[in-house]
Chain A
Amino acid sequence: MQKTKTTESWSSRLGVILAVAGSAVGLGNFLRFPGQAAKYGGDDGGGAFMVAYFISLLIIGIPICWAEWTMGRYGGQRGYNSSPGIFHAILGKPYAKYIGVIGVIIPVIIYMYYVYIEAWCLGYAINFLTGNLSFGNNVDAYGDFWGAFIGITENGSAIGFSLNQVGFYLILVFIFNFILIYRGLSKGIEWFCKFAMPLLVFLAIIIAVRVLTLGAPLADQPDQNIMNGLAYMWNPGNLIQNLKNPELWLAAAGQIFFSLSVGFGVIIVYASYLNKKDDVVLSGLSATSANEFCEVALGGMITIPAAYMFLGAAGIVGQGTFALGFKVLPLVFANMPAGVVFGSIFFILLFLAAVTSSLSMLQPGIAFLEESTGMNRKQSVSVLGLITGLGCLFVVWFSKDIKALDTIDFWIGTFALFVLATIQIIIFGWVLGIEKGWKEMHEGAEIRVPNFYKIIIKYICPLFLLVIFAMWVMTNVFGYNLQTGEVQLTGYVLDLVGDSDHPASAAARLSVALIVIVIGFMCAIAAQAGKRWKQQETEDEEVSI
């Protein structure tokens, strides 16, 4: 099964590692991770979360990463760079390309709302610099600014082009992303990640040093000091008791998932541009460790300790990822010495993290369009730009309560991720076969993976994933309470079906319709691609005879 090889490739090994790390490092590292640790770690600190987090990293995060890198390179060697093509090469069955389509749908649809969040980061950085975000201790003012900025009160109100409306920044980041993606893999994505990633780490270190040297910034609140802020993030409390909470395990495994970009359809595509003798074991581990360094060592030392020092635990409890990042932290930065500078740096840091992630979301779609239809890069970039542009406009229009964003994030950004990662690890361990996969993984490898990982990849990881996925569906879809056993459909389902207390949401239903349309469109292209690939393979066979 051999197809004409692409002309795209990475120019350096460090470049591909930084690109994969850039894909993984995003807002989740600096906002979602610390928020989850503080929320699920228990009432007396987030330390217990870390135990479940590291166990999840070892048994699902790292193995799936290696499996994705290996399957990607395997598909690339057979001439395929898109997820449907790679699955087609591995499985050799007509249905394989449709499984692979999940790996195109996820990044393309996530891009539609991620670029909107990316625009928030750029907008906040500029508004900090211009002094528009200096509201002192007025907690409500920060919430009002955020609400007006993203149009949370009324559909369509986000589309404005003043400095404190998101529309202007959205156009800027959309154009910026597509210029980079048009330049190609090595001249666009790799080139940008090579300077953006070190800069991002440097900026995060500056912010971490600032936070750790704040002492007790509020004279009338001496208990709100750095040591207690760190305690709120890291104290394990009653470790054994906290670890008995199934929600903590679910949250920790989920965080590993979202953070490492596994099951996202990106790593498999990036790895397909490697050659047979290029290492994937050390490269995969390096990209993972870069992400973990940014998340645990930097994200874990910044967000929660900083928020605790200015607002105490009461200001953090119950805050979601966005509220923490765009309501709580602006207040924190505005109130610290030289806050304008540090606030701007922090949002530039988030912006860089978001750009490196959003770029990676476009490449799977580009690769699929080029490979399945024979389009050149200019055409595929234009088509993808149109699809994601329309999708993004939809998300921005239905901005009331960020309903469209939230609905799409739930069904695609969470549910579909679990599905693809589970399929991938089962294909690697059971279809490709652990022995063949293991041998393939170690082609050109600079380090060896310990043998016990064969058991983890074949048995433990799929089982753990299936259990976590089942628990996730029970709790987040059917609303099963793991503590009390009560069942009540969650808001995401009620938004679609409605009941007497919770009417169905038109925006949520339209968001699901959008998802269905994109799935249908991609499946239609995949069907055509199947015919094209089969024809090409027949021609190749005739030539070889």
Chain B
Amino acid sequence: MTIPILAAGLTTGGWLMMILSVGSVTTMFCICLYKVLRGPNKTN
């Protein structure tokens, strides 16, 4: 396996990939948390 050299840093694709990945899971987590905390907390 070749060992990559990434002196150029994050590319536009890299930024997009990171923001979309981290953003989507964080948004999903926050929405779910909000809905759960807003709803009834006791189990039936």
Contact = CB atoms under 8 A, between A and B. Distances in A.
Interface of A: 9-14, 16-17, 43-45, 47, 50, 54, 223, 225, 227-228, 230-237, 239, 274-279, 282-283, 285-286, 289-290, 292-293, 295-297, 300-301, 313-314, 317-318, 444, 446-447
Given A54-B21, A286-B36, A47 B13 contact: yes
Contacts of A13: 36, 39-43
User: What is the interface residue range for chain B against chain A?
Assistant: 35 or more
A277 B14 contact: no
Closest 4 CB pairs of A and B: A235-B14, A227-B9, A47-B17, A286-B32
B25 to A, nearest CB: 4
A43 B1 CA distance: 8
A43 B2 contact: yes
Interface in B9-42: 9-11, 13-15, 17-18, 21-22, 24-26, 28-29, 31-33, 35-37, 39-42
A313 B5 contact: yes
Interface of B: 1-11, 13-15, 17-18, 21-22, 24-26, 28-29, 31-33, 35-37, 39-44
A301 B25 CA distance: 13
**Interface residues of A, dominant DSSP:** helix
A234 B42 contact: no
Contacts of B43: 9-13, 16, 274-275, 278
Contacts of B35: 282, 286, 446-447
A286 to B, nearest CB: 4
Given A10-B43, A13-B39, A236-B13, A313 B4 contact: yes
Given A12-B42, A300-B22, A228 B6 contact: yes
Contact of B14 (A9, A236, A313): A236
B14 A231 contact: yes
Nearest to B15: A234
A223 B7 CA distance: 6
Nearest to B34: A286
Nearest to A235: B14
B36 A283 contact: yes
Contacts of A444: 44
B5 A278 contact: no
A295 B29 CA distance: 12
B44 A301 contact: no
Contacts of B13: 47, 235-237, 239
B25 A230 contact: no
Contacts of A278: 43-44
Nearest to A316: B3
A293 B25 contact: yes
Nearest to A318: B1
Nearest to B35: A282
B21 A231 contact: no
Contact of A231 (B1, B9, B29, B37): B9
Given A13-B39, A278-B43, 15 more contacts: A12-B41, A12-B43, A13-B36, A54-B21, A54-B24, A227-B10, A234-B21, A235-B10, A235-B11, A237-B13, A278-B44, A286-B33, A286-B35, A293-B26, A446-B35
Nearest to A282: B35
B22 A296 contact: yes
A318 B2 CA distance: 11
Given A11-B43, A16-B43, A297-B26, A232 B6 contact: yes
Given A13-B42, A228-B9, A234 B29 contact: no
Contacts of B32: 282, 285-286, 289-290
12 contacts: A43-B2, A44-B6, A45-B4, A45-B14, A231-B10, A235-B14, A277-B44, A282-B39, A293-B26, A296-B21, A297-B29, A314-B3
A293 B3 contact: no
Contacts of A236: 11, 13-14, 17
